[in-house]
Chain A
């Protein structure tokens, strides 16, 4: 295979139109999966995507088109450049035109992709084997997944962009079941390299939760004061972000639209009396992300014209008020919403809050503690009403202490409304989502939510 840097030079040289951006994403991954305390599948993966984006001047503006391939050999270079140009001409003048960046460099352009592989599990795998043995001895079944990924992104252009970023990511998930699978709990960890994964801590958490389930009370549907651990808060943030394009808001078709005032968004409106901040920041310690924008296609969230722009801190919610939305430059111009492509991490914090999950449990006189949220889907985009389930453990809290487990529920809630019903929060910690693995880099607090709407009981456990 041709080296990514050489591929970029050759394709951009072969492109006979106004500009050409080539994005190469090289990814390596090692993964382990287990069920009933035995390894079930594993993999060593190498992937590459080469995206060629053509910019062709047409009457009244610029047309763009892109094609992506896994592997391009020397004989295919001029053909792929031509193909992207043809896609651009077929599409016609682009709606999202903005000046292309030129001559920007970042990162060690010439270095090869640094591959990850099974060796990343050198300590973890034997420890996991020991944990399997220990759990089996105590009639606990373990189910889970460990994944480590290295991705290198190169963005190069005819106009002199030479940008490179290396992104490590990893996650560990562990479900523990006991008593003929009638008890179930879950632990998740995000990591960059598996050196910081505390398996003993995971084991301890699982054992404590399974023990809590020795007593189960039936609870009816209804509204409960509810403690959400940080990972569940991160899962709830997903739809807040996925519905945040400024264009949809300005057109009146999102939860962030000002009702009855076409063209206006809810920016400036108070969503919470608490000084909640929700933002993305590429320099946030422990979940750092790319300092530049890379876009292989255009859409409500991104524009290929914005390739190479610096990825800056994006303020979404600031001191409880809606502060920003996602707006490529062209949309920024028409809506007046400042430019942002969002970011590759999300952080929620409430200045002045501290403590961990236990500190939030301690604040509840009578309520519920959740473990994770699951199967979260949009029900009504007007209010951003979501539905979902509780999964792997719901506990009853009395006078600040867990007194036993209760059944699972289906819930219906809007994350926008929920921001206004957070009554307390812990400090912010790096956490792992349960459902939305796309949100790989999150830091959130555990929170207490008033009147959480448990719509019906789910028999599942």
Chain B
């Protein structure tokens, strides 16, 4: 940690006129009657590298930079952004934002107020990574992915292999009219490798379980994640999957591995406990939530084994920051305690509207062109401190399926009814794995599902999973988020056969 705290953002970002630009926007906004001004100067660099078998198919190295200025005038928001980073442009944007706020005024009946936050002046925060992926030569990155795909292709079970790696460096300078100014830099990476088998009856595939995380290119070695080990097992797993029997639809106990459960947490808890959604702000697009505010401290969301936290502080977490995009310091709090709904995700505006004293720091904007909105912190299921390891959990299941890896996902607009598939489905009978099955989807209602959680694994089963592509708001914004969880057992969940669902 000491290493992290002493680190600075890259010199070429710090060389931008960050203070001059933010001062210009704030002073102009205030002089035109704004009661609040915030400004972000951002540069987000994204690399995408996709290999088909051992040759590059798609390569993207893109960088988006610019300024976004947000104001409150007479209780109404105004926002403007542009790609040019200069004090003159910042002044111009402040004027446009104020004009936009005045235009919106007559259409706004809600007076915007923000929950207070201490002032943090001149703060710096840099995430914990070792190797900036953009410092690694392109040929070296291609070679590593080609090596992994190449080793898959040595197996007769594998006809094709695909590798997709995405790496992001996000640099952000935030300042507001209260005096807070923060400069932050974070790096993240996601790599998926998939092996395909093509046979008489169609095709089958299997993808790596490695999760996206707040690491640099060091993630692609064998230390933080053992890629070579995972790749060496994949062809056998694929061959077994091809030969596996199709699942008989019905009720099964599900032992869900963290590589699958993170996504179920994301959809059925993460989005459901966003307070802006629960209040209706996303009703036209992302949807609302069954977990409305009248349920707070009343709704038994899940079994008493269920403890869910929200945080923006977990090391290597995709939602981890020092300060959010409204200058609120990163925090950690309870969302579900012993199965009871006790907390929500907040930004400053929603916190004020809900009568809270303070935001818990969930504001985020994915680009200088977009306004900060409430986005998901790392939402994680806590392990049972004395819980069993994975073998112990398997031994506890009489008639069930161990599900590993995420695949298809879908949930309704109030976060009740969901359906998920996976990468690997291992049939468990009398406490032992007896082989793979395939064509599995599980379907449930959120509260039924979490109330049926009857065993939670110990810390040895805990993995930090997550996604780069969580969508919300209009215009659409994308955010990266982590979900840590142990393996857990769910009682008699409805399992579908996806081939039968297709009417075959």
Residues of chain A whose beta carbon lies under 8 Å from any beta carbon of chain B: 1, 29, 31-49, 51, 65-71, 86-87, 90-92, 95, 118, 125, 128-129, 132, 141, 143-145, 147, 173-175, 177, 181, 184, 186, 251-253, 257, 259-260, 262, 296-300, 374-383, 385, 387-389, 391, 408, 410, 412, 414, 417, 437, 451, 453, 455-461
> Quick one: which of B77, B201, B203 has the most chain A CB within 10 A?
B203
Q: Which of A1, A69, A174, A299 contacts B50 (CB 8 A)?
A: A299
Q: Which of B58, B64, B373 contacts A41 (CB 8 A)?
A: B373
Q: Which of B150-175 contact A (CB under 8 A)?
A: 159-160
Q: Which of B72-101 contact A (CB under 8 A)?
A: 76-85, 96-97, 99-100
A-B pairs, top 4 by smallest CB distance, nearest first, are A90-B138, A460-B414, A252-B198, A68-B62
Residues of chain B whose beta carbon lies under 8 Å from any beta carbon of chain A: 48, 50, 52, 55-66, 76-85, 96-97, 99-100, 103-104, 106-110, 137-139, 142, 159-160, 196, 198, 200-205, 280-285, 287-288, 290, 369-371, 373, 408-417, 419, 421, 439, 441, 443, 445, 473-476, 494, 496, 498-499, 501-504
Least Cβ distance of B164 to chain A in Å?
11
Q: Does A456 contact B443, Cβ atoms closer than 8 Å?
A: yes
Residues of B within 8 A of A174 (CB): 284
Q: Does A379 contact B498, Cβ atoms closer than 8 Å?
A: yes
Residues of A within 8 A of B80 (CB): 43-45
Q: Which of A31, A38, A66 contacts B60 (CB 8 A)?
A: A66
Whole-angstrom CA separation of A252 from B196 in the bound complex? 10
- The verdict on A380 contacting B198 (CB below 8 Å), with A42-B79, A43-B79, A408-B412 known, is no
- The verdict on A458 contacting B198 (CB below 8 Å), with A47-B66, A90-B138 known, is no
Least Cβ distance of B138 to chain A in Å?
3
Q: Does B413 contact A87, Cβ atoms closer than 8 Å?
A: no
- The verdict on A68 contacting B61 (CB below 8 Å), with A143-B280, A458-B416 known, is yes
Whole-angstrom CA separation of A35 from B282 in the bound complex? 8
Least Cβ distance of B434 to chain A in Å?
24
Residues of A within 8 A of B290 (CB): 459-460
Q: Does B417 contact A437, Cβ atoms closer than 8 Å?
A: no
Q: Which of B79, B85, B503 contacts A453 (CB 8 A)?
A: B503
Least Cβ distance of A381 to chain B in Å?
8
Q: Does A389 contact B474, Cβ atoms closer than 8 Å?
A: no
Least Cβ distance of A419 to chain B in Å?
13
Known: A375-B411, A379-B421. 8 other contacts (CB 8 A): A35-B281, A38-B110, A43-B100, A65-B59, A132-B109, A297-B60, A389-B417, A459-B416
Q: Does B59 contact A297, Cβ atoms closer than 8 Å?
A: yes
Please list 28 pairs of residues, one from A and one from B, whose beta carbons are closer than 8 Å in the complex, sorted by A's number. Answer: A32-B104, A33-B474, A35-B283, A39-B77, A39-B108, A44-B100, A47-B83, A47-B369, A68-B62, A70-B63, A70-B65, A90-B137, A91-B142, A125-B107, A143-B283, A251-B159, A251-B160, A257-B203, A259-B201, A298-B58, A378-B408, A383-B502, A385-B501, A391-B412, A410-B412, A410-B419, A457-B417, A460-B413
Q: Does B443 contact A410, Cβ atoms closer than 8 Å?
A: yes
Least Cβ distance of B292 to chain A in Å?
9
Q: Does B281 contact A68, Cβ atoms closer than 8 Å?
A: no
Q: Does B203 contact A252, Cβ atoms closer than 8 Å?
A: yes
Residues of A within 8 A of B100 (CB): 42-44, 118
Least Cβ distance of B389 to chain A in Å?
32
Residues of B within 8 A of A90 (CB): 137-139, 142
Q: Which of B108, B159, B412, B473 contacts A389 (CB 8 A)?
A: B412
Q: Does B474 contact A31, Cβ atoms closer than 8 Å?
A: yes
Q: Does B104 contact A42, Cβ atoms closer than 8 Å?
A: yes
Residues of B within 8 A of A44 (CB): 79-81, 96-97, 100
Q: Does A71 contact B83, Cβ atoms closer than 8 Å?
A: yes
Residues of B within 8 A of A388 (CB): 410
Whole-angstrom CA separation of A375 from B287 in the bound complex? 10
Whole-angstrom CA separation of A253 from B107 in the bound complex? 51
Residues of B within 8 A of A177 (CB): 280, 283
- The verdict on A45 contacting B106 (CB below 8 Å), with A35-B284, A143-B283 known, is no
Residues of B within 8 A of A132 (CB): 107, 109
Q: Does B413 contact A417, Cβ atoms closer than 8 Å?
A: no
Residues of A within 8 A of B474 (CB): 31, 33, 145, 147, 173
Residues of B within 8 A of A128 (CB): 107
